[in-house]
Structure 1
Amino acid sequence: MNQDLLPGTLAARYAQLVDNRDFAAMDTIMWPEFTQEGPGFRAESRTVFIANLEFLRQFDSTFHLLGQTSGEWQGNLYRGETYCVASHFYQQEDQGLCLDMYIRYQDVIALRDGEARYLQRDLTVVARDERRLQEPSF
Structure 2
Amino acid sequence: MTSTEFALQAVAARYAAGIDRRDPELLRSAFHPKARLAIPAMDVVMEGHDQLPGVLQPLSQFEKTFHFLGNTRYDIDGDTATGEVYCLAHHLKGGQILVSAIRYQDTYSRRDGEWRLDDRTVIIDWNHTAATVAWS
Q: What's the TM-score, normalizing by structure 2?
A: 0.88
Residue-by-residue CA offset, 1:57-79 (whole Å, 9 max, x unaligned) = 11100000000110121121110
Q: Distance in 2 between matches of 1:12 and 1:64?
A: 9
AA aligned opposite 2:58: F
Alpha-carbon spacing, 1:76–1:89, altered in 2? closer, same or farther (3 Å): same
Displacement after TM superposition at 1:14 (Å): 1.2
- After alignment, is 79-88 or 2-11 more displaced? 2-11
| Structure label with greater radius of gyration | 1
Which residue number in structure 2 is paired with residue 23 of structure 1? Answer: 24
Counterparts in 2 of 1:1-138, with a 5 A limit? 6-38=7-39, 39=41, 40-91=43-94, 96-136=95-135
Q: CA separation of 1:136/1:5 partners in 2, compared to 1, >3 Å: closer, same or farther?
A: closer
Say whether the 8 Å CA contact 1:62–1:87 is kept in structure 2.
yes
Quote how far apart the aligned CAs of 1:4 are.
9.1
Higher helix fraction (1 or 2): 2
Does the CA contact (< 8 Å) of 2:15 and 2:26 recur in 1? no
Shift of 1:43: 1.0
User: Is the 2:100–2:125 Cα contact (8 Å) retained in structure 1?
Assistant: yes
CA distance in 1, matches of 2:25, 2:57: 11
CA apart distance, 1:122: 0.4
Take 1:3 and 1:85, find their aligned partners in 2: how far apart are those partners? 23
Tell me, what secondary structure is at the counterpart of 2:106? strand
User: Tell me, which stretches of 5 or more residues in structure 1 are unaligned?
Assistant: none
Any conservation in 2 of the 1:5–1:116 contact (CA below 8 Å)?
no
RMSD: 1.9
SS in 2 for 1:124: strand
Q: Which amino acid is the alignment partner of residue 119 of structure 1?
A: D
Matched residues, number: 133
Stretches of structure 2 lacking an aligned partner (at least 5 in a row): none
Q: TM-score, normalised by structure 1?
A: 0.87
Which residue identity does 1:44 align to in structure 2? E
Q: Percent identity?
A: 31
